[in-house]
Structure 1
Amino acid sequence: MKRLFRPVLLPLLAAMLSASAGATEVKGLSMQVHDLATPFVQVWERNAGKPDAEFLRDFRSTIGARFPGFYDAQRFSGMFTPAQYENMIVKARAEFPSMRAAYEKKVARFTQELPGHIASFRASFPDYAAKTDIWFLHSLGEMDGGTRTLDGKTYFVFGADAMVKYHGDGDEAAFFHHELFHDYHEMECSGEPIWASLWNEGLATYVAKRMNPAANNSELLLDIPRNLVADTQKQLGRAFEDLHGKLDSDDRTAYAGLFQGRGGDDTGLPARRGYYLGYLVAEDIGKTMSMQQMAKLDCASARTAVLASVERLRKAHAASAK
C-alpha cells in the first residue's frame, strides 16, 4: 500500500488518554478523548459488598452524569424502560469480575495503541481531521466501537467491555482503522438505503484489510457470527441475488439480516453477511480506484459504483445460486 507520508506520532494523545477525569484537547486537532472506562473500575471497586442501589447511585453520579445522553434509556425509543436499563447496569456490575483482568488490559492497550493507530491512518488519509470526540467507556454490552448521534451531535464511542467480548486479545489495528475510517468517511445519504450501509461498512472493512494485509477474519470483525465468511461463501450466488433486490430498500428487517448479528431475516442466509458482501463489493471497485478515491465518492457516484459492482458479482456467482 502506497504511503503518502509518515507523520510524527501525536505526543500529547497518550498523556491525554491516561487521565481518568475530564477531557483534553490534542494540539493541532479538535478531538477530545473522554475516558469513562477507568472510572467504571473505580466505581466497581469502591462499591464492593454494597447493595446495587449504592452502586447505581455512584455510577450515575460518577459516570452517567458525564455522558447523560448515552447512559439513558430514552435514546432506545421505548426498547427499554428506565428500570430495565438500570437492570442492565446492575448486570454489568455482576459480570465484571469475570472480565476484569481482560478489561483492564484492554484499557491499557487502548491508551498505548490509539496514538499509533491514528498516525498510521493519517499516513494513508492525511486529510483526516480527527475532530469527533472519543468516548471510551463500559458500553453495558452495546458496542465495541462506532458513532452515536445524541441530540443532533455525533459522538465516537469505544466500548471496552464489548472489545473484550468480541475481540479477545488479538491485534486491534484493523478494528481501529475500520472505526477511524467511519469517522473520516462521513457519507450520509438520504433514506438510509441498504446500498449505502453496504458501501459504508464494506469500504471500512476493505480499508482495514488494505492497511493490515495480514489481518485475519476475526481481526477484521468478519467472524461474528462464527464462520461468517465460510458460511456466506457457500451461498454466495444466493447472497448476491438476494442483495441485488434490496439495494434501494430501507426495510429494517432486510437491514437486520444483512448487518445485525441477531434479529436476522427469513432468507436462510448468514446473519450479518452484509459486512462480507460489502467488502467484496469494495474489493471489486478497488480494482479501478484507490481507496482514497473511493472514500471521496459522493452518494450518487457511490450508488452507481455499488449497483454496477453488485450486478457484476451477481452474474459472476449466478451459477452457484442454482
Structure 2
Amino acid sequence: MQPDEAELERMAGLLEASGRYRVLRKLQTRAPVVGSPSAVRRGLFVDVETTGLDPGRHEIIELAMVPFTYTLGGELLGVEEPFHSLREPSHPIPPEITAITGLDAAAVAGHAIAPEAVHAFAAPAHLVVAHNAGFDRKFLERFCEVFTTKAWACSMSQVDWAAEGYEGTKLGYLAAAAGFFYERHRATHDCHAAIELLARPLPKTGRTGLAQLLDAARNPTIRIWAENSPFDLKDLLKARGYRWSGGDDGAPKAWWTDVAEADHTAELAWLRAEIYRREVEIAHRRIDAYDRFSSRL
C-alpha cells in the first residue's frame, strides 16, 4: 500500500532528524494565490535550449516561457500555464547538445516555433527573467523583437548567492542546496525550478531571492570599457573584477566592468591613476533593465 503524503513526510523527517541523511523533495509547481493584491506585476521566466553558444550561428531548439505574478516587494503570488515548444533547426543538433538536453533529430523533427505566438504570449510581461539572461536574451532578441522591448533580469547574477552561503550558481546545484530536485536541462522544468528558488526566503538575509533580484534590476549601472589598456596590467584589471570582451556583437574589444551609478566617477579616476596613468577619455555607458544583457550593448 502506497504511503500517503503525510506519512512520506513523517518518514523524511525521521531520516533528517537522525543527522545521517538529507532528503530532497521533488519540486511541486506553485498554484496561483486567490485574492491577489492590486499592486501586482506579471513576470515571465524564459529558458532556451540551443544548438550552441553563439546566437549569430546557432539556433533555438526548445523554448519555454512560464508566466508568474509577483508583488512590487518581491513576493511570488502564483505561476500560470507555460508556453513550451520545440523547433527543428536548419543544421543537425551536435552530439554534445543531445547529451546535455536529451534532444535529438527525432525529438524535434517537424516542430516549429511561431514568432507571432511567442510575441503574443510574452507581450503582457512587465519583466523577463532567465537564469543566465546574457545567454537567453541574445538568442530571443534575434528570434522575436518583443524581447527587445522588455525589462530583463538574471536569477544567476542578480541574486548574491555566495553571500547567502551557496557555493555555486548553477541551477541544479542551487535547487539541491535548497532541498529539492527536478528534471534538469528541459526548458519548462528549469523555469519552474528557478521560480521556486526566487520565491523562497534566502538563508542569510531572509528576503526572497525575487526581492533581491528586483532591487538589482531596478538600479541602473554604468558599464566601463578599459580600451587600449596596457597588456602588462591585465591582472590588475582582472583582480578588480574586469572581464574581457572579444568584440562580439559590436562591443569594444576591451576589458570591461559594470559599477553602480554612484561609483562610476571613482572608477574612472582609478583607471586613469592606476591603468592609464594619464588623463584619457574612457568609454562608458549607463545601463538599465531594458538594455542590460542585450547584444545591443
Fold shared by both chains (TM-score > 0.5):
no
Higher helix share: 1
> TM-score, normalization: structure 1?
0.28
Higher strand share: 2
The structure with the largest alpha-carbon Rg is: 2
Q: Larger RCO: Structure 1 or Structure 2 (Cα < 8 Å, ≥ 6 residues apart)?
A: 2
> TM-score, normalization: structure 2?
0.30
